[in-house]
Structure 1
């Protein structure tokens, strides 16, 4: 027999054997399926409370439980273990904040330097968020009233975030019309200086009631209320822009079920908390007997105000969910020494300096996902979001590399980039300062 015929014979035999095996396996699978009852797919069910979801076979619909997810009951019974619906919502709002970083223009040669790279209509698509269910209705700019001698840019106004509103399709899925405000964190030098202005000052946001006992960090308040009329993108202070646009959206969708969701990272979370307090204090979220729920999703946020500020936020019904990495030093600032833990002696006696003590607002969701081997990641928003998506994520970059924090700081502050007003060395410097704070155990 020729060699070619022999090869063909072997190939044909192999094909027959494979066909026979496939038929035998198919027959066995069919027999198993026939002998076993069909498994029913768990369909979403409209429930009135998330507590009902603990019953087997019940999968909740967000539209029917959104108030609980947004913190109406202060997230009671939803944190440990973290409710899957709540986890999804935290991730979703975190990605809206991440879009701010991706869209922020850090190219000094660009005409839109320190502003958004893209137009409102296509911003989400440009940063990789296809059909997020929201339309951007306004860009927001903030101006720290801080003079920096080496500042080279003509305009002090910075793009800080945006206001968006859910479209009709997303509104149906959510169960309400959601007005979203998203803030980025600290990037520029003046913003870092605003971060370090840790003195408390009366908020005085309600002209009819000053409430001088309600105090907030002066740098955050400065960024929120300052105005730069020379900036071509600015339309008043950050506060004026936000109150005007949110009021417009509330009036536009009057009569619908609504929510106001404020999300931010780092400095952005402070602005979100300030805005939530401001809206509630002025009563802009109330229309007669109807009240629009205000929820803040804070990622890696510092303390914003004193204990009276915390108390007032609670009285006004502002719900704050603080997502923190326990190794993130930013969440321990300001008020390293004067905070909620040093306000009362023995759990009974209020100390004289209690009004000068900082206090966190809201409910904390603590994440512990890094040892202090990679300090550049402990405050990173994408690291926060990544862990929420994958709770069992292993420690990354465990190469054991060590470095001298003081030496690294000196290198940054003496670098040529620092002298010419480049933004990223400040970001790095702050990271190492935070690392130093944590290493000292404060």
Structure 2
């Protein structure tokens, strides 16, 4: 695939394509599984340059009607990824959970749910490179960032992010225009497990404010005390790199990936919500000068920014 888009020298090789479909019924019938992303691993040469073997999982944004329906299912549901410790307090948006865990046995491309495909392939690669230093970088745009975060949490919760020597493999999520995915219990657990997240958001992008317009991380405390419904409040995770752009002639650009990438190069419209770190100047150093094919610039930016987040220990 990388060769076909002119990226044969990217330093990564695709090892598996990933397919998924939410368990959502539409008037025209249930949507079959669709291609949602891929798993890739760094080459020997790229690994030597990075100082480790990097496993990348990249997800696209929303395309199908059933995916849009899943995006709007704002009810929370327990993730329960670890059967030995289901953690009922850790809840995620039911539509994203459905897309991640639903199994369409009638589709000729799939071998189980999106989750099973991903866990199987990442585990296989970790076993293959068990004697090397390894990192896991997850990237996505919009809905894809939700899948990336669910996978990052899943790997860490199950303890699958371990190398052959028992050391924890760092997991980094690089999100473009991502919505909230889970409640405060989900956020707290991701923080406990060390899942690192860098969120690139346009402050005018409504998708980044969903779900949880009213019940979110800003409304769970009242008068210095937790409100009774605090466990039902959605919460963003990680460090936010905020962009500020809006083009009146084309409102759709507020969620456009190309617009996000273009604004990463404009310091006047960018603000980093983290004290003590000049994160933007470091991120743009990685992003600037990237003369990549348009369809692949964000994936490569995500890979490099993931390296940055791990290096900073954010």
Class of the TM-score when normalised by the shorter of the 2 chains: 0.7 to 0.9
Distance 1:219 1:128 in 2: 35
Normalising by structure 2, report the TM-score: 0.82
Q: Give the whole-Å Cα distance in 1 for the aligned partners of 2:152 and 2:47.
A: 21
Show the counterpart of 2:134. Answer: 258
2:206 is aligned to 329
In structure 2, the residue matched to 1:31 is none
1:275 lines up with 2:151 in the alignment: yes
1:355 corresponds in structure 2 to 231
The residue number in structure 1 matching 2:2 is 124
Matches within 5 A, 1:106-121: none
Gaps of 5+ in 2: 270-314
Given candidates 8, 29, 39, the residue that maps to 1:163 is 39
Q: CA deviation at 1:214?
A: 0.4
Superposed counterparts of 1:256-405, under 5 Å: 256-287=132-163, 289-346=166-223, 348-389=224-265, 391=267
Q: Determine if contact 2:247/2:253 at 8 Å carries over to the other structure.
A: no
Divergent runs of 4+, >6 A: none
Structure of larger gyration radius: 1
Secondary structure at 2:125 match in 1: helix
Q: Give the match for residue 99 of structure 2.
A: 223
CA distances 1:200-255 after superposition (whole Å, capped 9, x unpaired): 01000101001001000000000000011110101100000000000000000011
TM-align CA RMSD:
1.5
Match of 2:108 in 1: 232
Paired residues, number: 268
Decide whether aligned partners of structure 1 residues 140 and 177 sit closer, same or farther in structure 2, where only a CA change above 3 A counts.
same
Higher helix share: 1
SS at match of 1:180: strand
* Residues 302-358 of structure 1, C-alpha deviations (whole Å, 9 max, x = no match): 000000000000000000000101111100000001000000013x20000101100
The structure richer in strand per residue is 2
Q: What is the match of residue 145 of structure 1?
A: 23
Contact 1:327/1:371 (8 A) holds in 2: no
Q: Which has the higher contact order (CA 8 A, sep 6+)?
A: 2
> Which whole-Å CA distance do the structure 1 matches of 2:259 and 2:67 have between them?
22
